[in-house]
Amino acid sequence: MTTGTLPDATQADTAHTTIRKTVFFNASRETVWAFLTEQDKLAQWFHRPGKDLADGEDYALIRADDDGSKGPIIWGRVISMEAPSKLVTSFIITPFGGTETIVTWVLEEAAGGTRLSLTHEGVAEAAGAETLRMLMSLDRGWDEHLETMRKAAALEAAIASGQEMAGA
């Protein structure tokens, strides 16, 4: 018989409420990194930030509504940047009532392209009674945004490859 402590319900629930995604890109880590950190490239697949993301700085991603009004949809701070391999940011949206969640992006070389792993933690603590609804919404949103990012990165890589061929 072994002795020890079992994880409490909160620890177990947190482990089951972390969103994890893995996406492969036919693009270099540097290209994918640019899509995570540069204003114009973020705007192609997610939401436009006020400026390029910078280590230790606050950021806000802006939504443009149909009526032309603009406002922050996601905000937080860049916790750490290790270009082009790892980006960690806090991630706050209005339903979280100011509570930070943490999004970690890890970029690895894979089969001549890039493997991007996303981990989004802290949703249960931020969403409270709305945890399942928020997990489902964020899960679907990450899928949609990452697919858009994959297409944008592939197009950029194809254009760059065509330019290299034309210049050769």
Is 4 a domain residue? no
- Dist. CA 120–CA 122, nearest whole Å: 7
Tokens read off for 76: 């937080």
Report pLDDT digits (tens) over 14-34: 679 999 999 999 999 999 999
- Dist. CA 34–CA 41, nearest whole Å: 7
3-state secondary structure of 68: coil
Model pLDDT, residue 9: 45
Percent of the chain residues past pLDDT 70, beyond the cut: 88
Is 11 a domain residue? no
Per the structure, the complete domain to which residue 134 belongs is given by 17-161
Which H or E run includes 114? strand 113-121
Pick the more confident residue, 14 or 104: 104
- The model's pTM: 0.86
Q: What's the number of domains the chain is made of?
A: 1
Model pLDDT, residue 2: 47
Is 168 a domain residue? no
Report pLDDT digits (tens) over 61-83: 998 878 888 889 999 999 999 99
Is 166 a domain residue? no
CA atoms within 13 A on the CB side of 115: 7
> What's the CATH number where 49 sits?
3.30.530.20
